[in-house]
Amino acid sequence: MSGTVHTATDQIKSTVPHPYHLVTPSIWPLCGAVSFMLTFTGIILAAHFHIYYVLAAGFICALATGFVWWRDMIREARTPGLHKLVTQIGQRYGMALFISSEVMFFVSFFWNYFNYFFFPDKMGTAFAPVWPPMGITTIDPFAIPLFNTMVLLLSGTTITWAHHCLLEDDQKGLVRGLAVTVVLGLMFLCGQAWEYTHSPFPFYHGGIFASSFFIATGFHGVHVIIGTIFLIVCLFRARAGQFTPKRHFGFEAAAWYWHFVDVVWLFLFVCIYFLGRSAIVAG
């Protein structure tokens, strides 16, 4: 008798609405972790041993996992009653904490760079302790890097334009702003690819300066790729009319991430491209 009463009580409690959303079990986080592990292992194998199939496999797996995971998240977000106010606030805090962790990720790259910038004698080479090291010809900051800077700054204004259109319920303006931002992101990636292929210092065996340069700008490029994919997803969702002035956290998260990418590039341009160039000229 008591067991029956207890079961009935549990059923009643399970039907009581609450403001929190419980995430359903999913295999995609595990698949994503394995995919990124393969990708970063592939980067190491490609850089040191010219083995590329692990990198290709990891990249394909990461794209496939991202596609199905994103699909499930969009379905969940569009299900009425799941994401109440408390859940939406939690999502914003989560995105803010994620971007904060990304900030610290890039702080480590800048720390490494300035460690040798201010204390070049730590390199332990037989040459004079200068930064950049002797024999290194740096990239002209007022060529492709300046072009990329203008492109990213412009993209920051177009994503803000799209956000303003969304708040005004101007769906056509939202789609146009997102489309222009995606094009500008692709332009930046093309400019960085051209810069890498015409770099005056080699990617392989380029010493400390090349390692510091490529790891900082390369990971920023990866974030631009991720941000561009993020915006492309938002573009398709905007074309489908899935964003409203009151419910558009997916777009808002993409805009936050893109502004973060913009700000990081400004620091890269000033610290690595401009100050690095100035150091060698002054020397």
CATH number of the domain where residue 160 is located: 1.20.120.80
> How many structural domains compose the chain?
2
The domain of 187 spans 85-282
Domain final residue pick, 66, 82, 98: 82
pLDDT value of residue 3: 44
Q: Which pTM does this prediction carry?
A: 0.85
Which two three-digit tokens encode residue 265? 């590039």
- The verdict on 122 and 150 lying in the same domain is yes
Q: Does 263 lie in the same domain as 144?
A: yes
Q: How many CB atoms lie within 10 A of CB 64?
A: 13
d(CA 273, CA 113): 12
pLDDT tens track for 158-198: 999 999 999 999 999 999 999 999 999 999 999 999 999 99
Q: Within this chain, do residues 95 and 139 fall inside the same structural domain, yes or no?
A: yes
Q: What's the number of CA atoms in the CB half-sphere (13 Å) around residue 114?
A: 11
- Same domain for 230 and 165? yes
| pLDDT mean over 10-18 | 50
Largest CA distance in the chain: 89
Judge if 40 and 58 occupy the same domain.
yes
Alpha carbon distance 16, 60 (integer Å)? 43
Question: Is 14 domain-assigned?
Answer: no
230 and 158 in one domain?
yes
Q: What does the mean pLDDT of the chain come to?
A: 86
